[in-house]
Amino acid sequence: MARRKSQKVQRPTLDEVKAQPGKYVVAMLEGAVGPLGVEAIAPLYAPPNIKLPHLLLQAYVPCQIDEMWLEDGRFRRLYNERDYIKVWRSDDLPPEPPSADLPTEIEARMSPLVKHNAYRIATNPFASDSKHPSYMMIWAKNEDASSERSVLNWELKVIRPFLQAVKIYESRFGNRPEVIKECDKRLTQIAEKTSVDAQLLL
């Protein structure tokens, strides 16, 4: 007797989600996948100071998303291409998503841009590839430094708190071993250079 093939569960289209009962639109990723983010784009003729919610979806972390994403062409394309994106309506709000705040001692040493880049690494796809943008940020170089001491000072003031922030965000949003591994490798490298530099000053 031939075995029946298991049928894949059909997800509703986003138009069908729109028609579902429920006050809120909820979404999440399902499976061992990294976080997925989409930058919000203000509609044509919107006020210049309008602030729209950035879309951030994580594995098995249900979150409320704005109704506008059901009409957003970029999100509709992602939804059609990636079957691990789940979207539904509900009358109950999901729990609050993880905080984007950092410990005061780390945030005080970072510019808003550096903090944003740390957040981006933890909320976007990652690859251990020297040409991948996130990998390049973790292993950034200071080509303008005039000496090895200048490079080390820059790494201690900029790169070390940046990597510490990446690890914090990654633990909240992605928790991907490959990201933590690259951060730890760079932090270890900085620590070893700091140790050698301290010995030279003795």
Instruction: Give DSSP secondary structure letters for 173-186.
Output: HT--HHHHHHHHHH
- pLDDT for 144: 85
The alpha carbon torsion through 152, 193, 116, 35 (nearest 10 deg) reads 160
pLDDT > 90: what percent of the chain?
A: 49
Predicted pLDDT at 122: 86
Q: pLDDT per residue over 1-40, tens digit each?
A: 444 444 456 899 999 999 999 999 999 888 656 678 887 7
> Which residues, 6+ apart, have CB-to-CB distance to 187 below 8 Å?
160, 163, 164
Q: Token pair of 154, please?
A: 């820059």
Is the pLDDT confidence value at 197 over 50?
A: yes
Q: Which range (45-54, 112-121, 122-131, 144-153) has the least confidence?
A: 45-54
- CA angle at 36 for the pair 12 and 57, rounded to the nearest 5°: 65
Q: With contact defined as beta carbons under 8 Å apart, do 38 and 123 qualify? A: no
Domain ranges (residues) in the chain: 14-90, 104-201
How far is Cα 164 from Cα 183, in angstroms, rounded to an integer? 8
pLDDT higher than threshold 70 for residue 116:
yes
Residues 49-92: pLDDT tens digits?
655 567 888 777 888 999 989 998 999 999 999 999 999 999 99
Angstrom CA distances, 196 to 14, 120, 130, 190, 193, stand at: 58, 32, 27, 10, 5
**The pLDDT of residue 190:** 94
Q: What is the mean pLDDT of the chain?
A: 84
Distance between CA 80 and CA 91 in Å, rounded? 25
What does the pLDDT read at residue 50? 54
pLDDT surpassing 70 at residue 45:
no
What is the pLDDT, as a whole number, of residue 48? 59
